Structures are given as C-alpha cells and as structure tokens.
Structure 1
Amino acid sequence: MKSEDISFFEKNLTTWVLVCMVLGVMIGKFIPSVPLLLGQWEFYNVSLPATILLWIMIYPMMLKIDFTSIKNIGKNPKGLFLTWFINWLVKPFTMYAIAYLFFFVFYESILTTERAMEYLIGAVLLGAAPCTAMVFVWSKMTRGDGAYTLVQVATNDLIILLAYVPIVSFLLNRGNISIPWETLVLSVVLFIVVPLVISYLSRQYLIRTRGFAYLENVFIPKFDPYVMIGLLLTLVIIFTFQGQTILNQPLDIVLIATPLIIQTFAIFGITLGLAYYFKLPFNIAAPCSMIGSSNFFELSVAVAIALFGLSSGATLATVVGVLVEVPVMLLLVKIANSLESKFK
C-alpha cells in the first residue's frame, strides 16, 4: 500500500470530521443565530445551502464514471454478480438487522424509542447505498483491476436509480417507519438523477471537444479543492444543528459507530469469503469486498437531510458513517492485501 494512493485530505478525513464537529457544535452553542438563519433557507423542507454543497461533492465524483464501460459487462461476470448480490440482496438487510439489534435491543435502556428509530433510519440509508467514489481509491490500494472496478461502479450507479427507493422503503416499513415515496423519490432525483445526467452530458461534451486526457488530467482535478470545501462546510452546517444533541448525549456518537463498524467488517468478510469460494482473482475479489464494505455517504447524508432535516438523528447517523469510513477502510485494505497470497 502506497501513501500516494490516497490524498492527504482523504487519509485524514476522520480528523477533518472531528474538527468540523467541534467547530459546528461551538457555532450552534455560542452563535445560535447561525442555525436559525440557515433554517430559513429551505425549499419544501430541503436545505438549500446543504443541497448546493452536496451537489458540489457529487457532481465531480460522477464525472469519473464512464458508462460506456458497461459494454465490458460480459468479462468475468462472476465478479459482477457477486458485487450485485452483496450490495443489493445482502448489505441493506444485514445493516438493518445489526442496527436494529443494537439500537432497539442492546441500547434499549440507553436510547429513547424515537432516537433509536432515527438512528436506524440513518443506518438503513447508509446500508442501501454502495460506494461509488472512494472505491476507486480502495481498488487502487489493493492493486485491483481498474477497468473492472469501473464497470462495477457504473452498473451500481444505474441500479441505485431503480433499487434504492424500494429497498429503503421496504426496510423502514419493517420497522413501522413510514416515509412518503414521493419524498424519497424526490431525494433520489435531486441527488442522483440530476447530477448523474449533468455529469454524463458534461463528460461526453468534454471528451468530444477537448479529449479524454483533458477530462481526466485537467478538468476533474480542478474540482478537488471544491469537493473538500463542500464536504467540510456541509459537515460544519450539520454539526451546527446537531450541537445541542451532541452536548447532551456525546455517547451517542460511539453508540452509532459501533454497529456501523461491525456491519463493515461483516460485509467485508462475507464478500471476500465468497470471492475466494468462487475462485475470483485477487484484483477482482478485493475491489468487490471494498465496494460492499464502504458506503455512498454523500448520497446518504443528502437523503437524510432532505427527508428529516439537518437536526435529525438520521442525519447524525449518516455523518457518523463519514467519521468511521476512512480509518476502517484503510484497515480493511491492509487485511485484504495480507490475504492476497490465498487467491493464487
């Protein structure tokens, strides 16, 4: 594993989240007029500042996805089938089961029913959204097949359009949590369909007029600082609204993180084990396990904000997902690389 495979910002994402949490909590505590002002900038309960910042993050990420790679879908289909099986038929349901067990059983004497329900919603929103951006980093760090990873990510993005809403709705209905379909669909349109269409059209136009090299080496890298700023400002805004909750219940961060981390290790183990059983080469098996283990946290945070607001427990749970993502995934990269010899 090489240090240059992951940027300084990405490698220290957990630190930046903690810094944003402290800054946001302090703003919410000592400058309460800020969350009051931000709360007025809403459209149909969707925060306009947060939406703009989330688009700034999601658009450049989707620019990297080459949907023409789907023509290679027939190459080693077992790896694709495993990715689809884990991401859409296993991961959302294990996330629900593990989160429900912790929030409603293990934490029964600690959390109120309302809080437990909000945290469960956030966990489900995370579990139903497989990673589409950072997985390129994890694939590179495990010496994965970059072209094959691209096909996996592209097909997952298309499946999200059809599967995310019904899976989330189904799982939350199991817990007697009612979410209007139209609100959930609107969230998917806002944070997947719109940036996906714009990024696809942008990508095609730039390749046609300036060339692929310009897109990959010049245009997309221009967004790197803006993506960082967008994420950090989004987190500050969220924690500004979450300040009182965190001050009153600081243990909740740990309570939420525990089942999320357990879920990540469980999916990693299941996926890598199945990849070994089906005799997949390591450069396909490792990215498979990384895609299933990590989450499309940008989408999860966006949907949580759109559905429940910046101050909700669901939003806090998705943000905790951001907090634990990088250190846990870096550990799984090390574990995966240590097992590479088993796949030869």
Structure 2
Amino acid sequence: MGVFERWLSLWVAIAILAGTVLGNIIPGVFEWLSGLEFAQVNFVIAVLIWLMIYPVMVQVNFESISQIAKEPKGLILTVIINWLVKPFTMALVGWLFFNGVFADYIQPSTANEYLAGVILLGVAPCTAMVFIWSQLTRGDANYTLVQVSVNDLIMIFAFAPIAALLLGVTDIVVPWQTLLLSVVLYVVAPLLAGLMTRRRLLQRGETALEGFERGMKPWSIVGLLMTVVLLFGFQAEILLTRPLDIAMIATPLLVQTYGIFALAFVIALLIKLPYRIAAPACLIGTSNFFELAVAVAVSLFGLQSGAALATVVGVLVEVPVMLSLVWFANRTQHWFSTK
C-alpha cells in the first residue's frame, strides 16, 4: 500500500472536518449541490461513487463468474445476514435504545420516528459502496458483483413486505425510481463501462490492464474523500445544532453495525470461507442503501421527521465505521484461508 492508502483513515477524518466546516461557512453552495438530484439520488454524489466503482468493475472477469457456483457459501451467508437477520436485529436494537436506554431523553413520538428510520436502514442493504469496501479489502470483484446483484434482485420483492411488517404499516410504497435509478447508476452503467474498458486494455496485454488499475486507484480514493466532504457538508447544520439527537441515533446504529459484522465474521470463519470472499461477505451485511432508506422515510413521515433524520445519520455514520471494519478485516486476513 502507498502512503495515500495507508493513511486513508486520516484523510477521511480531515474530509469529515472539512465538510462540516465548509457546510457552515458556505451553506448556500452545499444547498445548491444537494438540490441537484432526482428521486432522492444526488447526481454529484452519483458521479463520485461512479468514479469509485468504475475501476472495480474493470477488474470483473465474466469468464470467471461461472466459477462462483462452485463456492456458494459466501453468497448464502450474504443472503441470510441481509434478509433473515439484519432487519430484525436492527428493529430490536433500535427498540431497546429508543424505548429503553434513551426513553427519558426522547418524546415517545420522536422515539418511534427514530426507530422507523433505523429500521428502514436495516432493511436496505447497500448497492454502491460495497464495491469500495471490497476493493479496500482486496476482495474478489467477480464474487462481490454477484452478491450485490442477488441482493438487488431480492430487494425488489422483499423490501416492502419486511419494512411494512417491522414498521407496523400496510401502505409501504417502494420508490421504484430511486431503486431502479440507483441500480442503473451504481451497477449497470459502471459494469458496462468496465467491461468495455477491460476488453480494450486486454487487447494491448495484461500490463496495460495492470497499469490502468494502478493509475485509477488514487482517483477512486479521491472520489471517496470528496463524497465524505459532500455528505457532511449537506448535514453540517444538523451536526452542530442537534448533536445530542445525532449521538442517540448513532448509538444503536453503531451497535447494530459492529454486531452484524461480528456475527458474519464468526460464521465466515466457522464455514472456512477464503478471505477474498469472506471480507466482502461480512461487509455487505453491515452497509446500507441510504438513498432508498431516505426516500421511503421522507415519503412516509415527511422531510422534517425524525425518521428522515435517522436515515441521514446512517449516512454520516457509515463511512467512518465501515473504514474501521475494513481495517479490522485487513488485519485479520491471516485467520482465513487464502486460496
């Protein structure tokens, strides 16, 4: 790893600070940038995430994808954690904190809205940033693509019923524009671009492909850092005016994230997954599809609701927490098979 990658956590901390400061100094600029969106998908963030994902997609080798059928355990682990465990543990952890630990500090109606927000995060597994966490742990790009694709397919059918069950409502409307636009922007488009780029580079030889990947890696990290600056800049005012609410919402999210990762990590060890599959499988279950969660929270409870705020806090918590899990995974890779 180069110096830039080795000190990534420091650069992210600086990006968080820069976003918070700039968001308060020049709020108008960030307000204008946040308005460049459609169906809750911000196009500036989309471009930056695309910049992060595109180099990963160049690594995808379609000729190797058929081999994944010979190693189904990682995919099964991802599906079980994301759809049979995570939504329900998030509901339980959220209820314990908002209706128990923090009950004396939050109005019951507000507590219920915060709970709804974290539940929506728990029911929406990540589509885009997973590719970045996989790359940072040197995961199998082909396997990660299949895991994300299967998650997206299940999400089409399972998101609304599970969310309705846990929220106790019957009129959940899936924001199809948000879901489909995100899948196209974050999976389909960069995948097609990566496939075409890979074919052209391979016509010039393996060294051309390796050189391209080395050259794009810093830009992928720059995309991550700029995304962090914007995310914290968009919410800078909330961070400074409602720090107690932010802390109370972040607490169950942290417990849930680290707890789900620990569960998946232990299972991956027990079933002897190779590290290139185990690391992405564990990380996929811990990150969230925040655009979808925010869109549903706004449509159900309103833009200024506690549920919408909770989904936004999920966005702010995710990057620093996921980087800590990436660091842990990389430090413990020798515990897994390296085949």
1:263 counterpart = 2:253: no
Q: Structure 1: give runs of 5+ residues left out of the alignment.
A: 141-145
In 1, the alpha carbon distance for the partners of 2:40 and 2:77 equals 38
Write the mapping of 1:28-43 to structure 2, written as runs, cut at 5 A.
Answer: 28-43=23-38
| 2:131 aligned counterpart, secondary structure | coil
TM-score by length of 1: 0.74
Q: 1:122 touches 1:315 (CA, 8 Å); kept in 2?
A: no
| Equivalent in the alignment of 1:319 | 316
Match of 1:232 among 222, 225, 229: 225
For residues 80-120 of structure 1, what are the alpha-carbon distances to aligned partners after superposition, in whole Å with 9 as ceiling and x for unaligned? Answer: 43344334433344344334433444333334333443344
Q: Is the 8 A contact 2:52 2:219 kept in 1?
A: yes
Matched to 1:28, the amino acid is: G
Structure 1 pair 164–187 and aligned structure 2 pair: CA distance change class (3 A): same
Measured against aligned partners, the alpha-carbon deviations of 1:180-238 in whole angstroms (never above 9, x if no partner) come to: 31x2x322322323443333333333343330625641334433333333332332222
C-alpha distance 172-106 of structure 1, shift in aligned 2 (>3 A): farther
Which residue in 2 is equivalent to 1:118?
Answer: 117
Matched, 1:219 2:208: no
Residues 131 and 234 (structure 1 numbering): CA distance in 2 closer, same or farther, change over 3 Å?
A: closer
Which of residues 154, 178, 184 is equivalent to 1:193? 184
Q: Deviations over 1:107-143 (max 9, x none)?
A: 33334333443344345435788933322443x5xxx
Counterpart mapping for 1:162-311 below 5 A: 162-173=153-164, 174-176=166-168, 180-181=173-174, 183=175, 185-211=176-202, 213=206, 216-275=209-268, 277-278=270-271, 280=272, 284-295=273-284, 300-304=289-293, 308=298
- What 5-or-longer segments of structure 2 have no aligned partner? none
Residue among 41, 44, 51 paired with 2:46: 51
Aligned in 2, Cα 1:273/1:122: closer, same or farther, shift over 3 Å?
A: closer
Structure 1 CA distance for aligned equivalents of residues 316 and 133 of structure 2: 16
What is the total number of aligned residue pairs between the two structures? Answer: 322
Partner of 1:134, secondary structure, is: helix
Q: Are 2:151 and 1:154 aligned?
A: no
Q: C-alpha displacement at 1:44, in angstroms?
A: 4.8
SS of structure 2 residue aligned to 1:219: helix
Indicate if the aligned counterparts of 1:87 and 1:130 stay in contact, CA closer than 8 A.
no
One-letter amino acid of the counterpart of residue 227, structure 2: T
Distance 2:50 2:288 in 1: 10
Match of 1:143 in 2: none
> For residues 312 and 208 of structure 1, what CA distance do their matches in structure 2 show?
44
Change (3 A) 1:99 1:251: same
Residues 39 and 47, structure 1, Cα contact 8 Å, conserved in 2: yes
- Alpha-carbon offset, residue 247 of structure 1: 0.8
Q: 2:154 corresponds to which letter in structure 1?
A: A
Equivalent positions of 1:326-341 (< 5 A) are: 326-335=323-332, 337=334, 339=335
> Cα distance 1:260–1:119, how it changes in 2: closer, same or farther (>3 A)?
closer
Once the two structures are TM-superposed, the CA of residue 72 in structure 1 deviates from its matched residue by: 0.8
Displacement, 1:162? 0.6
CA contact (8 A) 2:126 2:287 kept: no
Q: Go from structure 1 to structure 2 and tell me whether the alpha carbon gap of 1:90 and 1:205 turns closer, same or farther (over 3 Å shift).
A: same
Shift of 1:241: 2.5
Aligned equivalents of 2:161, 2:6: Cα separation in 1: 35
Check the 8 A contact 2:55/2:216 in 1, yes or no.
yes
Q: CA RMSD in A?
A: 3.7
